[in-house]
Amino acid sequence: MITSKLNSRLGFPIALLTLFLVSVAGARDLNEYSNKANSLIQSRQWGELEKLMRQGIRDFPDKEWMHSTLNYALREQKKHKEAVEQGREMRRNWPDTEKSANTLSRALTSAASAAYYDGNFAGCLELAEEARQLDQSESSYVWSGNALRKLERFQESARVQEEGLTKYPTNPWLKPNLAATYAAWGKEAEDAQDYDPAIERYIRAHELDPDQSYVLFRLGRAYRAAGKFEEAIKTFKKGRDTFPDAQEFTRAIGYTQLLRFRSVKETASKKELENLAELALQDALKEKDFQSAEYLVTLIGEAYTQTRNADDLRKAMKSMERVFSDPVPLWDSYGRQLYILHRRQGPVPAAAKEESLSYRRKAMSEYERKHPGRPLITNLPLPLKNRFVVWAEFDGDYMTHTGFAKYCYDFARVDASGQPLRPGGKRLQAADYWMFGEPVYSMTEGKVVSVVTDQPDNNGGEYGSQGNSVTVETEDGYYAFYTHFKKDSISVKEGQNVRAGTKLGLAGNSGMSTEPHLHVCLYDSEWVSLPFRFTPIRIKSPEGSKLTSDPLRQGWIVEAGG
């Protein structure tokens, strides 16, 4: 009866009044929410902060800072999608405030960052651009520029990041990211052989981030490809001095000097060429090993070959021999170059040939002593399918079959009587040989890693330099090398996988060859030849006919397929 009267006087049931009083007594005021939120932020309890702010928003739905703090908690928990949705709702409720714009922008750029690292560059760009339209924040420029770069929209990326860098010159990410954009944009131009814009972009990348060695290396490479050898050498030397642990700069200097020499060797005077050789020698003597000075050694050899100066070639070799920690590869290189120097002038004098062979053999003997247990490759199929003669055996009296090329053969097709010339053919006329145009087949499975096919075929005793060739890398990490192919006859391409028996091309007379033949070797990763054996084959020799898998000897005739 009393309760009924009280309900009537207050206008609502006493039970509801009791619930209201309990609720008011348990509610936090704004200061309590603020203090508790700060405490949770300090202790990085993001899940608890989210719960607190959701409760606070129910109690005080018009407090913008609570919505912003909730978004912060969601972002820290990497709830990116939820944070973006909540940020957009907040923006709808407060469409004109800076806080709502900044909150949504942060949610968008956090989501953009996650999309970027997930490889979703288009999604990253969409989110970052929405953020950039809101408040042009630092992060929006960072992620828009990065996404555009990954999408290979380099010009747009550079424009966005340049604008961002102007607005935020102290941002720690914009400069290196913009440098990466210019570097990638430069490489695009370099790959298209558009070297002037490539150089400009690499220069800008280096200005922005001088600590990146790869940018300086690419700049030197672009200068070199454009034929600006002096600028390239200067750039590579700067890289060598700035990044002393980056060995690629030292080799690049030597290679660039070699290319500069080759660009002028047919037009420069003897004195100019030998001056270049002397400069190369001075640089080579600053190095401690052959590998670092390899291109310089090649330049010295080619220069003195061009000027026919065997004495100064020998003196240069002796100087480097005293400096290099391991002279073995120098001996091999010198022996080869000395032979070529004399061969370009005609028949090689006996003394020069002996000196050449002795240096190359000394090099290989020492190399094999230092590397015992090198593999023997067995059971290979023949690279030719018709009868052929062995013109050069392993470690024979030919310069190209000694030293590091010790385990190489020369083969030439012959007729039933053992003759290499077709009926009525003339010696030193390439097309008159049975071997000219003979199909050559791969001895191994593997991937074609190098092809040269544009060198002319020699006639009349001419003697070239580089021959048309194919190199196949096997799964076991060694290389099968075939050379002297007929010009434009190679039928495989770089990157192509081949099987044993795949046709590679047609035999010819290119390179260091006066008569058509096939030069074939197997090499290890250091480009030192490896011994190998064929499957048992029938051979004819002065001693008779036999089936053998022994190393082939000079003068033997191989009945291919026999």
Residue-wise pLDDT for 159-185, tens only, equals: 999 999 999 999 999 999 999 999 999
Beta bridge partners of 539: 546, 558
Q: Where are the alpha helices (DSSP H) in 265-307?
A: 270-284, 290-306
Q: How confident is the model at residue 1 (pLDDT cuts 50, 70, 90)?
A: very low
* Mean of per-residue pLDDT scores for the chain: 93
Residue-wise pLDDT for 182-203, tens only, equals: 999 999 999 999 999 999 999 9
Out of 247-256, 296-305, 320-329, 459-468, pick the least confident: 459-468
Give yes or no for residue 7 having a pLDDT over 50.
Answer: no
Rounded-to-integer distance, Cα 87 and Cα 71, Å: 7
Model pLDDT, residue 10:
30
Model pLDDT, residue 24:
39
Residue-wise pLDDT for 111-132, tens only, equals: 999 999 999 999 999 999 999 9
Give yes or no for residue 25 having a pLDDT over 50.
Answer: no
Residue 510: closest CA among 561, 440, 436, 441: 436
Q: How confident is the model at residue 27 (pLDDT cuts 50, 70, 90)?
A: low
In the DSSP assignment, the letter for residue 421 is B
Dihedral over alpha carbons 75, 80, 86, 91 (to 10 degrees): 90
Residue-wise pLDDT for 414-469, tens only, equals: 999 999 999 999 999 999 999 999 999 999 999 999 999 999 999 988 888 789 99
Residues 6+ apart with CB under 8 A from 524: 374, 477, 478, 479, 530
Rounded-to-integer distance, Cα 91 and Cα 150, Å: 30
Give yes or no for residue 8 having a pLDDT over 70.
Answer: no
> What is the rounded average pLDDT of the residues 283-311?
95
Dihedral over alpha carbons 263, 268, 271, 273 (to 10 degrees): 10
Rounded-to-integer distance, Cα 306 and Cα 298, Å: 12
> What is the rounded average pLDDT of the residues 210-216?
97
Which residue, chain included where needed, has tokens 């002279």?
327
Q: Domains for the chain: give ranges and CATH numbers.
A: 28-178 (1.25.40.10), 247-370 (1.25.40), 377-559 (2.70.70.10)
Which string of DSSP letters, residue by residue, matches 342-408? HHTTSSPPHHHHHHHHHHHHHHHHHHHHHSTT---EEEEPPS-SS-EEEEE-TT-SSGGGSGGG-SE
Model pLDDT, residue 561:
57
Q: Which token pair is 327? A: 């002279």
Model pLDDT, residue 560:
79
Residue-wise pLDDT for 70-82, tens only, equals: 999 999 999 999 9
Q: How many CB atoms lie within 10 A of CB 426?
A: 12
Q: How confident is the model at residue 9 (pLDDT cuts 50, 70, 90)?
A: very low
Model pLDDT, residue 464:
81
Residue type, 107: A
Out of 18-32, 215-229, 537-551, pick the least confident: 18-32
Residue-wise pLDDT for 310-361, tens only, equals: 999 999 999 999 999 999 999 999 999 999 999 888 899 999 999 999 999 9
Helix, strand and coil content of the chain, in percent to the nearest 5, comes to 55, 15, 35
Residue-wise pLDDT for 38-59, tens only, equals: 999 999 999 999 999 999 999 9
Residue 407: closest CA among 481, 350, 337: 481
Model pLDDT, residue 346:
87
Q: How many CB atoms lie within 10 A of CB 180?
A: 20
Helix (H) or strand (E) holding 450: strand 446-452
Residue-wise pLDDT for 372-403, tens only, equals: 999 999 999 999 999 999 999 999 988 899 99
Residues 6+ apart with CB under 8 A from 452: 466, 467, 468, 469
Print burial letters for 155-176: b (CB count within 10 Å at least 16), e (below 16).
Answer: ebbbebbbbbbeebeeeebbbe
Model pLDDT, residue 22:
33
Using a pLDDT cut of 90, give the percent of the chain over it.
91
Model pLDDT, residue 13:
39
Model pLDDT, residue 21:
32
Give the CA angle between residues 374, 554, 427 to the nearest 5°.
130
Residues 6+ apart with CB under 8 A from 273: 261, 264, 265, 303, 306, 307
